[in-house]
Amino acid sequence: MESLRVLELYSGIGGMHYALKESGISAQVVAAVDINTTANKIYRHNFPDTPLWNKTIEGIPLDDFNQLSFDMIMMSPPCQPFTRLGLQGDVADPRCKSFLFILELLPRLCKLPTYIMLENVKGFESSSARDYLIKVLSGCGYTYQECMISPTNVGVPNSRLRYFLIAKMSAENSSIQTSDKGCSFSHVTDSEFPERSSVLRYKCQNIDQPSEDNPNVHVLYKRETQMDSQRKTNQNKDLSVQQIQDYLEPQMNINMELYLLKPKTLLRYGSILDIVQPHSRRSVCFTKGYGRYVEGTGSVLQCCMENEISSVFTNLDQLTEEEKLQKMFKLNLRYFTPREVANLMGFPQSFS
C-alpha cells in the first residue's frame, strides 16, 4: 500500500500527527496548517521536516489545496463555539468560519480525500455545524461513524470526553471497520439533518460525569457530597485504568517551588480544588488555563500522603486564615508539570 498523503488542519502542537505515527499506518503529512505562533514553534521543533503553513485556512486558495493531492484530512476545529462552558455560538461564532470554509471547499476539490478524521468537544455532536458536516459528507458520497470517547476508555487516568468522526469514501457505501473496544459505533442515517436526539448512539464505559449542583445535598467537606465521594471512589477502583503515578516525572527532576500552590491560591480556591494522589486512577480535564487559573482547569497532586484530604478540609471554614494554611500545607499540593500533562494527553517521551 502506498503511503497516505495527509493534510493536517488546525495542527496545534502536533497531537494528531503523533497519533498518526502511533497508528502504524504508512503516511506522510504533506502540510500542517495553524495560525497559533506558539503552537507552530512547538510543532516545527518536533516535526522539522513537515511543511507548516502559518495561514488562515480560509485564506488558502483552492489551487493550493489541489496541488497537495492529499488522501486524508485530519482536523480538530476550534472548540469554543461548542463547549458547554462557553456561549455555544455554534455556526454564528466567528471562530467557526474556517470550518465552514472547509465544508464549502470539500466538494470543489479536484480529488476528494479517501478519509476524513475530525475531533471536537462534547457539544459538537448536537450542533448545527455537525449537521452541516454530515450533510456535506453524505452529499460527497462518504460513509461515516461517530463516537464519544474519553482517555479513561483506553486506560489513561484523565477525563476528557471528546467527539470523533471517521469518514471514508466508498463506492459501495460500506461501513468502516472499527474496533469495539471502549465504545460501540453506529452509522448515522443519511438524512439532510438527522434528529439530534438520535444523532449519536454510543456506549462508553467509565466516562466520568460530574454531579449536578444541588443546594439540598449534604456537603461532607470541601464541596464534596456523598455522591461526589462515591463517584471518585468508583473511578479509583477501576483496574482497567492506570494510576497517576505511572505518568509522573521522577521527583528529583522537579523544582517543587515552581509547582507548589501558593498560599493565596489555597485560601481562595482550596474548597474547589480537584485533588488526586499518585495512586488515583482519575483526574479532570486539563485546559489551556491550567497553572494560571484554578477553577475547572485541571487536577492538582497531593504529594504528602501522611494526612487524609477529609481530615484537612473538614470544618476548615471555622478556622483562621493562618490555621487554614497550616492544615492545607500538610497535603503539599502542587500542579502537574507540563511533561506530566503531556504524558496524560498521550504524547510520547520524544515530544518536547
User: How many other CB atoms sit within 10 Å of the CB of residue 62?
Assistant: 11
Task: With H, G, I as helix, E, B as strand and everything else as coil, classify residue 134.
Answer: helix
Is 340 in contact with 158 (CB distance < 8 Å)? no
With contact defined as beta carbons under 8 Å apart, do 32 and 11 qualify? yes
Backbone angles phi, psi at 300, to 5 degrees: -120, 160
Query: Are 144 and 187 spatial neighbours (Cβ–Cβ below 8 Å)?
Result: yes
90-129 b/e with 16+ CB inside 10 Å = b? Answer: beebeebebbbebeebbeebeeebbbbbbbbbbbbbbbeb
Q: Taking the CA atoms of the chain, what radius of gyration do you get in angstroms?
A: 22
Contact between residue 21 and residue 326 where contact means Cβ atoms under 8 Å apart? no
Contact 139, 108 (CB under 8 A): no
Nearest to 30 by CA among 50, 46, 53, 15: 50
Look up 183 and say whether it is catalytic: no
Rounded distance between C-alpha atoms, residue 19 and residue 1, angstroms: 20
Q: Which of 79, 147, 183, 285 is catalytic?
A: 79
CA distance 48 to 42: 10
Catalytic residues: 79
